[in-house]
Homo-oligomer: A and B are copies of this chain.
């Protein structure tokens, strides 16, 4: 690369959590530099946030619309290359649309939009503009998830029969949103979160992980959503039976009221000749299970891993890589893809290895189907067919 890729950020002002994550992840490999931002809808706060990040006042915008216009007016040698969207859910779509329309690539947090209809519109816009769109389904960025995908898709487990994916958390076990906790506040507010809290926030990660690792598609599902905390307008727990397009069966559950569970995303996949197990909280271990030989324990950066896993690893074995490193893998691949675009060459498969607008659409369809199923007496509801070439 001749120069760093230039990032503008929408959201992520002082006190926000996920903005800092995106900035650390984007910066980790030294390939991306933050050049501007609309960090807050309050212009004063936006500027103060930018100052903390050593940005000049002129690149700290009061609104995302101003940012798009301001950056578009700059010399191409200075102008941002892409927009990173780290707002609450309801703003993802309008910001992404504005960025794409202004000719900027986009890296957005998930869920991608507030509805499948918005997601469809975004797919169309991405296809029309030909711009690059990434989505931070960050858990697929872990090296051992790459390894799991490599093993399953390479057929090492045989035809897949069963998938169990779970995502228990406990942080919403009490009514945190009434105590002024910002993260809880918008996630439990239908205006900003959309029609789902638990499934939208974390259930989609579980869905994405299962489909990304196996390459299978959920064909139909049967869901039971519950709101355990009184006065909360959206669900905080969900259990879902799954049927996949190859005949595999599965269970997916997500919860925000499972006390003392932190961020316990985990997946188990069983095929005709083997199985695997991965836990996000110990992300550097992948367990392989075999029909006819002892269980194996694979570790990040140990010998014998696939190129896929190796390409997403920065340290020798035993030097734990974590959440930020996995997150950074998405940004690194995204940045390399943009660099290829800039230089007019074709990105290779490794660079293109990040979730896209089709994953985002899939996630929104999943949310809507789960919510509909939970309200229905019908046992099985079908998922729409998957679109796009990924994952």
Q: B-contacting residues of A (Cβ < 8 Å)?
A: 1, 3-4, 17, 20-21, 23-24, 27-30, 34, 53-54, 161-162, 164, 166, 168-171, 173-174, 222, 224, 226, 228, 237, 239, 241, 243, 249-251, 253, 255, 257-264, 268, 270-275, 280-284, 288-299, 302-304, 314-325, 376-380
Contact = CB atoms under 8 A, between A and B. Distances in A.
A293 to B, nearest CB: 7
A251 B273 CA distance: 26
B260 A291 contact: yes
B237 A224 contact: no
A25 B246 CA distance: 44
A295 B24 CA distance: 30
Given A20-B314, A27-B30, A239 B249 contact: yes
A274 B260 CA distance: 8
Contacts of A24: 28-30, 314
B3 A30 contact: no
Contacts of A323: 315, 319-321
A169 B270 CA distance: 11
The 8 closest A-B pairs by CB, nearest first: A262-B318, A263-B318, A260-B289, A320-B322, A322-B322, A319-B323, A294-B296, A262-B317
Copies of this chain, whole number: 4
B294 A253 contact: no
Which applies to chain A's interface (DSSP): helix, strand, loop or mixed? loop
Find the residue from A161, A282, A322 having the highest chain B CB count within 10 A.
A322
22 contacts: A1-B54, A20-B314, A24-B28, A24-B30, A24-B314, A28-B324, A30-B34, A164-B253, A170-B275, A170-B291, A222-B224, A251-B251, A263-B316, A280-B318, A293-B296, A293-B304, A294-B297, A296-B297, A321-B324, A377-B378, A377-B379, A379-B379
Contacts of A258: 162, 268, 270, 275
B162 A257 contact: yes
Contacts of A226: 249
A173 B249 CA distance: 15
A267 to B, nearest CB: 13
A289 B170 contact: yes
B262 A302 contact: yes
Nearest to A240: B241
A237 B294 contact: no
A161 B237 contact: yes
A282 B164 CA distance: 21
Contacts of A249: 224, 226, 237, 239
A162 to B, nearest CB: 6
Nearest to A25: B28
Given A30-B53, A260-B290, 11 more contacts: A23-B30, A161-B228, A164-B253, A239-B251, A251-B251, A255-B270, A262-B318, A282-B320, A293-B304, A324-B324, A377-B379
B222 A379 contact: yes
Contacts of A325: 322, 324
A272 B188 CA distance: 18
Contact of A318 (B251, B264, B296, B304): B264
Nearest to A374: B379
B3 A54 contact: yes
B250 A251 contact: no
Contact of A315 (B21, B53, B264, B321): B21
Contacts of A259: 270-271, 273-275, 289-291
A312 to B, nearest CB: 14
Nearest to A293: B304
A75 to B, nearest CB: 19
Contacts of A282: 282, 320
